[in-house]
Structure 1
Amino acid sequence: MMKIPVTYMDSEGDIRLEWGEEYKVCSHFHQYGDPSSPCGRNLLSSLNYASQLGEPYIFVCRGGLVKIAVALLHGDTLVGGFLAGPIVMASLRESTVTKVLKEDSVSDADYPKLIMTMNKMSSFTPEEVSHLSVMLNNCVLSSVENAGEYFIRNERYRRQTKLNSEVRKYKMSQKAMSYPHELEKQVSQLVSSGDSQGAVDAASQLMDELYLLEAGDLEALKMKIYSLCNMLIRGLPDWDQSTIEADLSSLDTLAEEKDYDSMKRFACTFLSDLAVTYAESFYHGSSEIVKKTVKHMNKHFKEKMTLEDSANHFHVNKSYLSALFKQEMGRSFTEYLTLLRIREAKKLLKDTALNLTNIAYQCGFSDQSYFSKVFRKVEGLTPKEYRKQKRINS
């Protein structure tokens, strides 16, 4: 109806499907369909850029004609995309015809066909081209299950563009920017005090300031964030060795992050989780007996342990210890013991391939059935469901 050719190209640059070929000028050129040609590389590059944008990308091809690219994503991976065009913006000028002919050789036999095809091309105003791009994008979004990924990418691109603009302004101003020591100290204090949400808010601000300070150098930013996180991990009590080792292992994945947005998301999540660990690993009250009991539980929770055992260990009355523990910790002895065991179980489910029976025994549960029952009560899903969910997310 609108005489606009549409092409589907895979992620390697090979053409898989075409519609409206009779209106496609490109098909008359020798290099058409060759992914390694300048034209082919240009088209594939446009799809890659559209996938970064999370929205349609309108561009002028090497021949001076307008095209619209919309990426097709599977999960977070580019699998191909749709290219609408070439089309004429406003009117077909002689200079455009000359440029098209310069791009590639056309045989004498194909030359009349090329001119006829160019005369068939419809002209569109800039506003109409914009509407066409939205229409093509909506067609793709209505046909895929992961439409939300496009909106996430678009928001990520806009945030990155804003940050890049701030970096350029900072470079142009040539103003000296001091290291945000106070903000870094604030992040450390919030994590150490167990304030998870406060740590996330301060860490987000710290990341933005460090990004500007390093003028967008992601590797330099990684080193600073790694040092901060490593220092906070080392601040955990030495008897919580399994947590320290697991956190250090998890921190190594920071090196795999390729862009600022994912790096910032990783750092904020990591520091938030670390704040929770601090909150669960320390007792900040004044009771010496509760302090000793918490330390003992954190060290021996994988072993058989009861309130009576702990009371006998510290030579205090069982009922007294129970009441004092609940008063000081805000949860019962059994609830805190369960919290420690479930926290360890979650790490093993996420980071190992151990079966549920082995995980149950390693975390201090008497059997796998009881472990599964307690895990579901605490987390709202079974150990198997939790493991599956974490693998899908990663």
Structure 2
Amino acid sequence: MDHFTLPPAFKSPSPEILHKIEEAIQSFSVITDVPVTFFNTNGEIQWECHRQSKFCNFFDVYKDPRSVCSKNLASSAKLATQLGEPYVFVCKAGLVKIAVSLILNGQVAGCFMAGPIIMGGLKESIITNVFSLNNIHFDSYPKIILFLRSMKIFKPKEVSHLASLLGSCVLASITHNEDYASINSQYKEQKRIGENLQRYKKENKTMPYPYELENQLIESVKDGDTNKSLSLLKKLLGELSLIEVGDVTSIKTKVLGICTILSRIAAEKSSLSQEQTESYFYDMNMLNQAVSFQELSILASNLIENISQVIASSSYSGKSQIIKQAIQNINENYKNRISLKTVADYLHTNPSYLSVLFKQEMGMTFTDYLNQTRINKSCELLANTGINLIDVSMQSGFDDQSYFSKVFKKMKGITPKDYRKVNAK
């Protein structure tokens, strides 16, 4: 059987798309035992699948472009295109066929014809029509009758299901789905990591533990920045996979350690409900039972996402979804230039309304909360790092060190420098 191709005059899609179409139609044909033929826009046979089960191939009239068969196929293909869905029709011999038009980039590329098949039962009229349409030699009678009687008989409802299935096969092959593409991308990423593992193993290379990446992940989760946390986790898992040469047990031990730290931080920063506590316990237990790197990655991502979101909303226990989202946005973007207006635009709401609602729900203004978030972050940097005050102010979201010191002293009662002397570890 030739590979599925399109006519030279048609602007062909990528080889990947053509392969997906061929693979889908072959799967349909093998599992249903129904032959499928692809005709180009001129009514010429371009590709056949399961050809040995195709009854039409017994007869020359089927391939004659001037015959009643060709005209019947052409009109059915046209109708399938106009309908935009599978079209079930009865050929001149009384056998059933299913037409599904192939449309790519707004251009009709041809039509898939499934069949012929027998619907309901092998009627005497079908045999009569077959012989009347074709100039059949007497010696061929037994062979043709036996072939007809060996064909599978489908009920009308089954034919309807076949039509839906064929249409879905064609549509799924040419339609890009972001969700499945994302999953497939993750699979390819894991495959790439596996190949890197083998290469590093052969070269006997050693890699240092990515402490910096781990610290960035912990800080990101503490900030409630879910998207950044998940991105950092993905990088960390990739490096751990290389360091441990794919040993899932060793990788799992390190990931469980990180998740334990983060769970404790979540408990300290927020008042966890019984349900949340049980959820963490369940997620950690599931993570501990992971048997593959992919499973470990998915479970760790889910746990990190949950912890990050709990921390992000820990300063608010009200019921307003707008304020919850506003707080999450602040926690994720406090290092950037954000304002009441930018957050309001993000939430598609009026700045004045957000200002009033924020003060009402939080007991402080938007600006005060933003500054409080930035100052709390600066306290962590002052206590845990030795970076200079300019960098502390920048990493906390303040553009001006003087303004940072002023706000810090107002909120904490002492200067950033004095705070570091008292709290530095």
Give the structure-1-normalised TM-score: 0.37
* Greater Rg by CA: 2
